[in-house]
Each structure stands twice: as structure tokens, then as C-alpha cells.
Chain A
Amino acid sequence: MKKQLRMALSAGVTFGIVTIFLFLIGFTGISGDLLADLFGNKNAAPFLGLTPQMINMIIFLALIGLWAGSYGSRKSKGQTDDPWAPALIGGLTAGLVHGILVGLLALLVGILNLNQVPINMYLAAVLPAAVKMFLLGGSPVQGAIFHLILFTLTGFLGGLLSRGIGRGSWRVRAVANWKNAWDRYNQKPFIKKMRGNPATRYVIYGVLVLLVFMVPLVAGQYWNYTIGTVCIYVLLGLGLNIVVGLAGLLDLGYVAFFAIGAYTMALLTAPAPQHLMWSFWIALPIGVVLAALTGLLLGAPVLRLRGDYLAIVTLGFGEIIRLLSTSDAMTSFSGGPKGVPSIAGPTIFGEPFNSGADFVYLIFLAAILIIFVTNRLQNSRVGRAWEAMREDETVSRAMGINTLTQKLLAFAIGAAFAGLGGALFASRNQFTGPEDFTFMVSVNVVAVVIVGGMGSIPGVIAGALVLKGLPEVLRELQDYRVMVFGALLVVMMLWRPAGIISSSRRKLEVEKDTGATESPKEGSEK
């Protein structure tokens, strides 16, 4: 009981602080507007003297209150039984503490506001109008009492809902039933045969790929452009995944290899400044090879460094490439700050690509190739050596791994993927310049790998979709886009700290799909 109270108390304090913070940055007011957009009730008539924005804000705060109550009523670790009373008291306590904290805030800002203290000079978001809205137009005391009651009630309700619905006995039964049904379904001979058959997997992959290939046909030009960008980030993410996710080498200058691929494509195919105008198909492999060679050249001296030192050196290298491309000395060679326009697009049998969809297909093919290669590498002697280096470099040397060679290999292959991405990127945009290769690109690619899931191919794909695709989807939210995006990232990292789809180990001891014949040894060991 005491433990439950302590947990509820800390839940109340935590949520109180979060709510206060949300008010201080002005988010409680924004939430009213956001929900108004969502419900479309912006211009609805006032109800009981409350504007639609106020009602929306109450809904938003009530949701937080419910969450606080549910959090405050949770079971402590290792607790097996789950009685009603502590859960309800937990929810109520959390709600009460939450309400007291927010009520005090309402009282404080309300009184300050009445005395004409210009709070917004210190906290830009706390405008008199925002305070008025927070107090629902009432006096400070009325506002404080309102918040106290709101959070206490919702806290209790949150505890009730969480215990009754979230952890009720009917739910346990339902989950068990569902699991039984699933097991029975898996035991059917036909299903077992299908699962054991690799052909099934290929058919599923084939259907998925087909579905994905339908998308560019129905998507408009804008969405095709976005899909292309996402896929290029998949290429970059998978390349960096080898370097960071598998080999454990933190490379913060990954954009350099992207730039080398892009500039190779640009200088070899554009009419100016080099007048070469080679074909796209010749420039593409040259870009990839050049990027890989640069990876080797850079790697040879710096890969002896470990951890943070390597990160700093690679970061510097990325900046050197970008600064070189903007420098006057290089203007006659690579176009300088103005960049390189009129980069050639690909042709097939002399026919140029004429729709955005064609290029998306090309990028799809590149992405599939890279996924294939990464998958093969990851499950090989080389991939295992990389992961061993990530886990413990010293021991991996003692296990007979030549770490320098393996690091160089990881660096070069990662760089090659970035080169491919860069070449495709430059050709699709038909223009490239120094501003395409800022440090932020490296940061974004690292974020794709980390948010997606280090060392996991589906994770990196999901990461690219979320980090590059989601901002476009969120464009509907206009001004709040970046803020909502940031909040989503924070929530995601709290929810799945190992990434959206974290890497899983291949089953090697007991072959997959023969699990039906349970090995007798396994049973006795466990």
C-alpha cells in the first residue's frame, strides 16, 4: 500500500510538472487550436460560456489527467495480484497531486495576470490571453478549483479505466483465448506446410513488392518526389547502418560520401563546368566506386581511433568536403557555391525518363538491391565479425578478426551505398550544390538508423519512412509541424528505445519452421 502511494505520488508530480511545462510553452492553448482543426469546430457557438478552443483544451487536459491516473494506479514490479482498492486509491492520489500542482500554477499566473505583471516578457508563450483561456475566463481561484477538480476526477477515472478495462480479468481471458486460437490455427497441417515452405515467403515478398510498385502510379508528382527522397534515405540509412549499427563505428561525416556520389554524377554528366556529358549509366558506377575509394582512403588513417574520437574526425571530414565544394579555388572545377545545374537523367534504350514515377522505380530497384546485399552481408562471416567488433573490439581481435580490415570493409561498403544514393539524388534533382551536403544530412541519417533500430534492416526502412515521410504527412498541421514531429520522436524513443523495429537474432541452433518437432534436449535444459 505504501509503495502504491509512493508510486502514485511520483506519477502525480511527474504529470503535474509535464502539464505545467506544456502550459508554459503555450501548448495547452495550441492544443485547443489543434483539436479544433481536427474536430472542425473552430467556429462553433460558445457552450456554457466556453469557447470551442476552451472545450478542446479541457478535452486535452482531461486526456492527460486520465493518463496520469492510469499511470498512478499501475502495479508495482513483481506484484502478481491486482486488487481494486490500491489501483483506485493510486489513481485518485495521482490525480489529486496532479490537480494541486496545476491548480497552484493557475492561481499563481492568474494573480500575476490580475496585477498586470508582464509574464510574457520572461516566458513568451504566457500571454494574458493564454492565461485567460487557461482559467476559462474565471477568477484565479475559480480556475484553480476547476483544475483541481478536473485532474482529481480524471485521475480517479483513469485508475478505474486502467484497472477495469486495461487490466481486468476479462482481458486476461480474452488474450488467452486469442492465443489459443492462434496456436490452433498454426497447428493446422496446411498452415504448417505453408510456413515451412520458403516459397510462401517469396510469394509474400513478391506481393509486397508489387504493391509498393503500384504506389508511384497513383501518387502525384509531389508524393513521388517525397517517396524518392524517403528511398534515398533508405539507401543512406542502410549504408550507415553497416558502419554504425553493425560495426559500431560512429561516423558523423557520412554526408561526405553522399556528396562524392552526387558530385561525380554532376561533373561527369552536366554540360558545365566540365563539358563531359557522359551517360548516366557510366557515371553511376563511377560515383559508387569513387565513394568507396574515398571511404578506404579516409578510413585507413582514422579507423585506429575509437568511439568519440572517430566521431569527431569523421565530422570534420564531412565539413571539409562541404567547404571544399563552396570554396573559390574549386569554383572552376565543381561550380563552387552556385552548384552544378542540368545534370543528366537516366535513359533506357536512348529514351529519357519522362515521368517522376520512372525515377521512383529506379530508386526502388536500387533500394531493393541494397537491402538484398545488406541482408546477405549481415548473415555472413563478415557481418558477424562486424557485430563482434561493435560488442567488444579487443575480444574480437583475440577471436582472430583482423579489425582494421573489417572496419575498412564496413566503411567502404557504407560509403559505396552513400555514393549510390548521392548519384541518384543529384540526377533526380538535375541540380546539386553545397547546400545539399550540410552536417544536418549526416545527423538525419544517424537519426534514421537510431530511431529505426540499429542493425535492423526493416528498422532502417521504418526510420526513413518516419523521419523523412512523416514531416511531409504532417504538413497539414502547418505551424505545429516541427513541434508535433519532435514530440512524436520523444514519445517514440520512450516507447521503443531500441528503435521502431529493433534487430532480432536469427535462430541458428534449432532450425526455424521445424519447431513442430520439439527437440527433447531443449525441454530438459530449460
Chain B
Amino acid sequence: MTIALETRSLTKQFGGLTAVDSVDLAIQENSIFSVIGPNGAGKTTFYNCITGFYEPEAGDILFYGESLVGLSPDQVTYRGISRTYQNIRLFANMSAIENILVGEHSRIRGSWLEAILHTPRVVKEEQQAVEKARELLNFVGLVGLGDQLARNLPYGAQRRLEIARALGSQPRLLLLDEPTAGMNPHETTDMMHFIRRLRDELSITILLIEHDMRVVMGISERIAVLDYGAKIAEGTPSEIQGNPRVIEAYLGSGAASGLDNTAAQPA
């Protein structure tokens, strides 16, 4: 199996605070990999390092063998990594379909001069882009809502639109940041199925940050646990559930020794 994304002793510091502390991860192509950890464990910082928003102090990030360190966010996106946000960040005053078209930005080429002159190439490219955006709307189940302003969509639809926008850049690796936050159990189940579909139908590798343990344990193939920026455990869902260090990180020291392991599933 190919490794899609690999980090080697990745470290990010803010002043004296080490937000990500020599994290080593290797994510298999076509897998669903979760990163969990208590609040402030450095999960989102880890994402920001991968996507080029932060430059790590030490370590390396390899995407299909190519280093991403020092690349700007748009270059990272161009190489095939896309993401969604913990708190939905759509382009609120643009229509749903325009949001997806912005996602496709790095896959179309038309320059400003071509746009003014309407060269045949750019007209064709634009038609294809809109067609692609319609397909993505269909894929995420938002048919008929494409011309609505993003801010007028219901919450669940906004979450799915954000994923559709991320898919617009034809990513090979998709970073999801708490995709089920604020959802009811029914919607959460839908989202779990949807994430599986992303992987199965589009062959996209999924990296997931999630707090909802039902989701994490239900769909991840492997899980890494961060605490105070450092990786404290990695393994399959069942291995993580029984890991005393993980329970300690979530529930405090003493919890692991005082409680029976099976009863102390972090929730």
C-alpha cells in the first residue's frame, strides 16, 4: 500500500508553547484516518501545518513522497489536499454553486485576459466547470439548492456544501475538521455514510478530526491520539479504546487505574 501522507517529527511552536510536538504519522492511501484528542491538543494546528497555513519549526510533511514544507496554501491545494472547517466557513454571499466553482479554482486556468476576450478555450472550460459543480451538488445531495445563497442554506446542507467545495479541487486527500459538529444523531449517521462514500466512490484518502466517538470508532481504520501536541497513541479503534494513556488524557490520571478498562470508553 502507498503512503498518502506522512509526517516526520513534525513540530510547531508558538513562542514557548509547543502546539505540535514531533508527531510521526503515516496515512495509507484510501484509508479513513482519525486524529482525536482533548480540546487544545493541537489537532487544528496540525491541519494548518499540513495545509501550508503554518510553517513547522522542525520535521517534514511528505505527500506521496513530495515535501509540502514551505509551500503556500494554494500550492498545497494544487497538489491535491483540500479541507473543511470546524466552524462552517462558506463564502456566505455567493451562491452554493459559485462556492463549488471557487473550489475548482486551482483546476481551471482561464486568465483575466482570456476572461475579457471570451476565448473559445475559456468558454468551454467554464461550461465544464459549471457542469462539474452541478455533478458535485448532485453527489452531496443538494440538487435544486445550487442557486441559493450559501448563507440561506440549512445547517446540514452548509456542511455538505463545504465538502462539495473542497471536492471541487479534486483532492487526493481530504481533511475534515469535525464534520458532525452540531448535528443530531440521525444527521451524524448520514454524515458517516457520506464520508465512507467519499472514500469508496471517489477513492479519496480521508483525514478526520472528530470529537464524536461514535463517528470516530465507527468509520476510522486507524486513529492517532494527540495530547499537548504529542502523539500518545496510534492504532485501530479497538486498540485505542483500551489504551490506558488515552483514557488518562481524556479523563485525568487515576481514571485509568480506578476504572475497569471496558467501562472507561472516552465519550
Cα of A138 to Cα of B2 in the assembled complex, Å: 96
With both beta carbons as reference points, the residue of chain B lying nearest to A454 in the complex is identified as B93
* Contacting residues, chain A, for B92 (C-beta < 8 A): 391
Answer whether A392 and B91 are a contact pair too, CB < 8 Å, given A381-B110, A382-B112: yes
Inter-chain contact A395/B98, CB cutoff 8 Å: no
Inter-chain contact B93/A391, CB cutoff 8 Å: yes
Inter-chain contact A381/B97, CB cutoff 8 Å: no
A169 proximal to B (CB < 8 A)? no
With both beta carbons as reference points, the residue of chain B lying nearest to A381 in the complex is identified as B110
Choose from A380, A391, A394, A509 the contact partner of B115 (Cβ within 8 Å). Answer: A380
Among A400, A505, A507, chain B packs the most CB atoms within 10 A around the CB of A400
Inter-chain contact B91/A400, CB cutoff 8 Å: no
Inter-chain contact A521/B72, CB cutoff 8 Å: no
B233 proximal to A (CB < 8 A)? no
A373 proximal to B (CB < 8 A)? yes
A183 proximal to B (CB < 8 A)? no
Inter-chain contact B118/A376, CB cutoff 8 Å: yes
A396 proximal to B (CB < 8 A)? yes
Among A376, A384, A385, chain B packs the most CB atoms within 10 A around the CB of A384
Chain A 505-526 interface mask (CB, 8 Å, partner B; 1/0): 1111110000000010111111
* Contacting residues, chain A, for B106 (C-beta < 8 A): 399-401
Inter-chain contact B73/A397, CB cutoff 8 Å: yes
**What is the interface residue range for chain B against chain A?**
35 or more
Inter-chain contact B98/A385, CB cutoff 8 Å: no
A377 proximal to B (CB < 8 A)? yes
Inter-chain contact B165/A399, CB cutoff 8 Å: yes
Cα of A458 to Cα of B21 in the assembled complex, Å: 54
A177 proximal to B (CB < 8 A)? no
A494 proximal to B (CB < 8 A)? no
A239 proximal to B (CB < 8 A)? no
Cα of A53 to Cα of B133 in the assembled complex, Å: 65
Among A401, A506, A509, A523, chain B packs the most CB atoms within 10 A around the CB of A509
With both beta carbons as reference points, the residue of chain B lying nearest to A412 in the complex is identified as B112
Inter-chain contact A401/B105, CB cutoff 8 Å: yes
Answer whether A391 and B94 are a contact pair too, CB < 8 Å, given A380-B110, A400-B105: yes
Cα of A525 to Cα of B130 in the assembled complex, Å: 20
Cα of A521 to Cα of B145 in the assembled complex, Å: 10
B62 proximal to A (CB < 8 A)? no
Inter-chain contact A508/B144, CB cutoff 8 Å: no
A388 proximal to B (CB < 8 A)? yes
Answer whether A398 and B51 are a contact pair too, CB < 8 Å, given A381-B105, A505-B94, A519-B144: yes
Interface 9-mer from B4-12, B26-34, B77-85, B214-222: B77-85
Inter-chain contact B97/A509, CB cutoff 8 Å: yes
Inter-chain contact A509/B146, CB cutoff 8 Å: yes
Cα of A396 to Cα of B146 in the assembled complex, Å: 19
Cα of A83 to Cα of B134 in the assembled complex, Å: 47
Cα of A393 to Cα of B53 in the assembled complex, Å: 12
* B108 CB → nearest A CB, Å: 5
Inter-chain contact A399/B143, CB cutoff 8 Å: no
Inter-chain contact B145/A399, CB cutoff 8 Å: no
Inter-chain contact B115/A382, CB cutoff 8 Å: yes
Answer whether A377 and B77 are a contact pair too, CB < 8 Å, given A395-B85, A525-B143: no
* Contacting residues, chain A, for B55 (C-beta < 8 A): none
Cα of A387 to Cα of B98 in the assembled complex, Å: 10
* Contacting residues, chain B, for A398 (C-beta < 8 A): 51, 53, 73, 77, 82-83
* Contacting residues, chain B, for A402 (C-beta < 8 A): 72, 74
* Contacting residues, chain B, for A450 (C-beta < 8 A): none
Inter-chain contact A381/B53, CB cutoff 8 Å: no
A68 proximal to B (CB < 8 A)? no
A413 proximal to B (CB < 8 A)? yes
A409 proximal to B (CB < 8 A)? yes
* Contacting residues, chain A, for B129 (C-beta < 8 A): 381
Chain B 46-63 interface mask (CB, 8 Å, partner A; 1/0): 000001010000000000
B251 proximal to A (CB < 8 A)? no
Answer whether A388 and B91 are a contact pair too, CB < 8 Å, given A399-B102, A399-B165, A509-B137: yes
Question: B residues 119-139 with Cβ under 8 Å of A?
Answer: 122, 126, 129-130, 133-134, 137
* Contacting residues, chain A, for B142 (C-beta < 8 A): 525
Cα of A31 to Cα of B44 in the assembled complex, Å: 62
Inter-chain contact A505/B98, CB cutoff 8 Å: yes
Cα of A398 to Cα of B162 in the assembled complex, Å: 12
A383 proximal to B (CB < 8 A)? yes
Answer whether A522 and B143 are a contact pair too, CB < 8 Å, given A384-B102, A395-B89, A508-B98: yes
Cα of A524 to Cα of B98 in the assembled complex, Å: 22
Cα of A381 to Cα of B96 in the assembled complex, Å: 15
B184 proximal to A (CB < 8 A)? no
* Contacting residues, chain A, for B82 (C-beta < 8 A): 398-399
Which 9 pairs across A and B sit closest by C-beta, in order of nearness? A509-B146, A400-B106, A380-B115, A525-B144, A400-B77, A391-B91, A522-B144, A397-B73, A388-B102
CB within 8 Å of A: which residues of B?
A: 51, 53, 72-74, 77-78, 82-83, 85, 89, 91-98, 101-103, 105-108, 110-112, 115-116, 118, 122, 126, 129-130, 133-134, 137, 142-147, 149, 165, 168-169
A-B contact pairs, 15 of them (CB 8 A): A373-B116, A380-B110, A384-B105, A385-B102, A394-B89, A398-B51, A400-B74, A400-B107, A402-B72, A508-B130, A509-B96, A509-B144, A509-B147, A510-B144, A525-B143
9 additional A-B residue pairs with CB within 8 Å, beyond A387-B98, A505-B149, A509-B134:
A373-B116, A376-B115, A377-B116, A381-B108, A384-B94, A391-B91, A391-B93, A400-B103, A508-B133
